[in-house]
Structure 1
Amino acid sequence: MAPASPSTARALNDRLALRLLQSEGPLTAGQLKTLTGLSRPTVADLVERLQGSGLIHVVGEAGAARRGPNARVYGIVAEQAYLAGLDVRMDSVEVVVTDLLGTRLAEASAPVAAAADTETAAHEAVALVERAAREAGVTRLHSIGIGAPGLIDPATGDLRDSSSLPAWHRRLVTVLQERLPAAIQVENETNLAALAEQRLGAARGFETFVMIWLSFGIGAAVVLDGKIRRGASGGAGELGFLPVPGTGGLPSKDSCDGGFNSLAWSPGAVRLAAEYGLSPAPDDGELPGAALIRTAVAAVAAGADGTPEDAFLDAYADRVALGAAAVAAVLDPGCVVLGGEIGRAGGAELARRVQDRLTRLSPLHTEVRATELGGQAVLRGALLAAQQSAQDALFPTGT
């Protein structure tokens, strides 16, 4: 392989320094030299270049003596780009606006009228983004990350048509592009939650892991060698269609009834709880299956071993372990993170019980962990996607 040209080497060094300033925070030139392994003159040159391009600036001085140039602390100019992250639900949208460093400047959420037509609903969602940007004092968003249920077409990056999703979901990106001149990244909600858990939460330190999403529907995010894997058609992780024992049937190409979904999704958890004489509390906005799991975990924490709540948790953990064992046998991920509303409600207690059963089912060592980011996982992942998009555009890469 031919050595890198001087211009490419400079661009690579600049990008390395910017990444370090992004991950480690403000640094002196001396600290950059230590962390990059570059020579002092090379670091001095790249600091001058990055200051000249407006990407970094002096944010203070280090040390009690404040020794002048050598003590200057450099940081990324956060105002270089403003970002938005969207968590798109079936009937609502949540938005966060940040600067390039991730400092939250404004947040907003609102329902999207179920009776609204496709165009009206999409414009309602975009208006929420515009309102959050105004509240943040931002006149232009550089990048927007969107997490939504459904499959992403690996060829186009667009949401694929699905009869189970509102039509306004697929119209949303087009309306955003019409009204806001920003780079837009759309990704499946579970994939974004997994990205956030890897960078900030339960999967830190794992380059390969699977996140099982336990909610009204069942899915999974597959991360192999540090990368989200979507599969040939975008369907990698459609764990709800997995044929498993105990469902009384088999899934079909048109429905995951009879698959793992029937065992582990919220209605399945409700039916299972009824076998133990348990029923969800009156609707308070929480997913019924999650409410039942949360109540059972609280009862066990209060010392209710051997009770119907304890038995229900065991039975539900048995079900989740079936899906986790299939994942372990095929992918050997080393780590499974339980996410979604039910995974969040079950927390460490559910994860522990699934771990016990998985250890008996599979010869492959697989850690089972509960989500650490909870209900913020999708939004945090959307912001990370927007941040990555902005960095790729702003930080030099060389040619």
Structure 2
Amino acid sequence: MPASPSTARAINDRSALKLLQDEGPLTAGQLKTLTGLSRPSVADLVERLQGAGLITVVGEAGARRRGPNARLYGIVADRAHLAALDVRTQGVSVVVADLLGTTLAEATLPIDGDATGTGPAVEQAVALLERTAREAGAERLHSVGIGAPGLIDPATGELRATTGLPAWHRRLVAALQERLPATVLVENETNLAAVAEQRLGAARDRDTFVLLWLGHGVGAALVLDGKLRRGASGGAGEIGFLPVPGTEGLPSATDCGGGFHSLAGGAAIAALAARHGIAAAGDASAAAGVRAALAAGARGEPFLDALATRLAVGAAAVTAVLDPGCVVLGGESGHAGGEALAARVAARLAGMSPLRTQVRAGELGDAAVLQGALLAARDAAQDDLFAPGA
């Protein structure tokens, strides 16, 4: 059955808005070429979108051209304001952006919930978001994306109580949902990092891949056939609990010690660097150790080889089950290791698994979570504003 005229118009409008988002300002003639619509249909489309306040004339194409056919149309960026939060164990980072995702203001605040208490910690985080929004000139936020450690209940979309998760994390999400006249979305940090790497980073050409997150903790995000897979309980990718050789004991339901976390978590990588005599002045983090090893040349190679072997153990387990064809080393340590570490992991993985698997360095590093949260907020805003009749 052919689409009704109203449905066809809605489809055409969203198609044009997507082109303007991805390609930047376009003329009516360019929209005609890219959409395949007739000139009258494009003229009607432009009039509708201007009337809805979604697009406006932002200039003219070509210094010598004048007149209606030369007008460049672009999305009205301040039609909605967005915010993203990256909630970590000891702090929170915030960015406020416009509808096109352009950053208007950003801030970071360390928060020690154990020292200040849950209530004050929540208030500090909420105040940071409100202050950053004011600095950006965003009187009203349309959508807020939050990336947090822990499991997200796939049925309710809520952050679940998890052992080791600070109490202020769960209270923060609830407080923002209660106090903001905005759509508030929360997602696991590793999942958001995978979304960002797929749309902006190392996995732009992949619809199936696994992101191996190497930060304070270790985790994985699964993107299969273009869709993020969360699992029945939201725990898909909790690779820190994966039993692996080379650790003392086995993980338990409440402690990932003895699992892959004991090989590839931040503390484990930092300790491995120290055992190989690799130290970064004034910074004992895992990523600093990786950078120092790369800078040390031949002296750092034994550490990088040992680390690559550890990472290949986890990657081999994932590829044996999922056969994703591509593993992206994300997080601060994966980004720090770059292609040098990725190549080492690929070589060792090829010796452990018969499945051909590319290994790539993440391009976005630790910033991937915040960028993924912003993408989630932008998608929610555009789905609402670009909907028929919005």
Range into which the TM-score falls when normalised by the shorter chain: over 0.9
Question: What is the distance in 2 between the residues matched to 1:177 and 1:396?
Answer: 23
Shift of 1:174: 1.8
- Partner of residue 298 from structure 1, selected from 295, 298, 306: 295
Show CA shifts across 1:196-241 (max 9, x none). 1111111111011110011221100101111111000000001111
The reply on whether 1:326 has 2:317 as its aligned counterpart is yes
Seen in structure 2, the aligned counterparts of structure 1 residues 318 and 12 have a Cα distance that, compared at 3 Å, is same
Shift of 1:9: 0.9
Seen in structure 2, the aligned counterparts of structure 1 residues 281 and 69 have a Cα distance that, compared at 3 Å, is closer
Question: What is the distance in 2 between the residues matched to 1:4 and 1:78?
Answer: 30
Residue 374 of structure 2 corresponds to which residue in structure 1? 383
Question: What is the distance in 2 between the residues matched to 1:340 and 1:375?
Answer: 5
Report if aligned partners of 1:27, 1:74 keep a CA contact under 8 Å in 2.
yes
Report if aligned partners of 1:7, 1:398 keep a CA contact under 8 Å in 2.
no
- Partner of residue 383 from structure 2, selected from 372, 381, 392: 392
Q: Give the % identical residues.
A: 69
Residue 306 of structure 2 corresponds to which residue in structure 1? 315
Question: What is the distance in 1 between the residues matched to 2:116 and 2:188?
Answer: 24
Which of 343-352 and 146-155 deviates more?
343-352
Question: What is the distance in 2 between the residues matched to 1:130 and 1:161?
Answer: 26
> What amino acid is aligned across from residue 203 of structure 1 in structure 2?
A
Residue 156 of structure 1 corresponds to which residue in structure 2? 156
Question: What is the distance in 2 between the residues matched to 1:343 and 1:259?
Answer: 19
Question: What is the distance in 1 between the residues matched to 2:55 and 2:42?
Answer: 13
Shift of 1:63: 2.1
Report if aligned partners of 2:334, 2:361 keep a CA contact under 8 Å in 1.
yes
Show CA shifts across 1:280-329 (max 9, x none). 45654x52x222222111112xxx2xx3x211110110010011111111
Residue 67 of structure 1 corresponds to which residue in structure 2? 66
Report if aligned partners of 2:278, 2:292 keep a CA contact under 8 Å in 1.
no
SS of the residue 1:27 aligns to: coil
Seen in structure 2, the aligned counterparts of structure 1 residues 398 and 245 have a Cα distance that, compared at 3 Å, is farther
SS of the residue 1:142 aligns to: strand
Residue 241 of structure 1 corresponds to which residue in structure 2? 241
Report if aligned partners of 1:62, 1:73 keep a CA contact under 8 Å in 2.
yes
TM-score in terms of structure 2 length? 0.96
Residue 364 of structure 1 corresponds to which residue in structure 2? 355
Which consecutive residues of structure 1, in runs of 5 or more, have no partner in the other structure?
Answer: none
Report if aligned partners of 2:216, 2:266 keep a CA contact under 8 Å in 1.
yes
> What amino acid is aligned across from residue 97 of structure 1 in structure 2?
V
The CA RMSD over aligned residues, in Å, is: 1.6
Show CA shifts across 1:331-377 (max 9, x none). 11121111122212212211110011112222222111111111211
Which consecutive residues of structure 2, in runs of 5 or more, have no partner in the other structure?
Answer: none
SS of the residue 2:233 aligns to: coil
> What amino acid is aligned across from residue 350 of structure 2 in structure 1?
T
Report if aligned partners of 2:118, 2:167 keep a CA contact under 8 Å in 1.
yes
Residue 255 of structure 2 corresponds to which residue in structure 1? 255
Shift of 1:178: 2.9
Report if aligned partners of 2:280, 2:292 keep a CA contact under 8 Å in 1.
no
Question: What is the distance in 2 between the residues matched to 1:171 and 1:293?
Answer: 35
Residue 13 of structure 1 corresponds to which residue in structure 2? 12
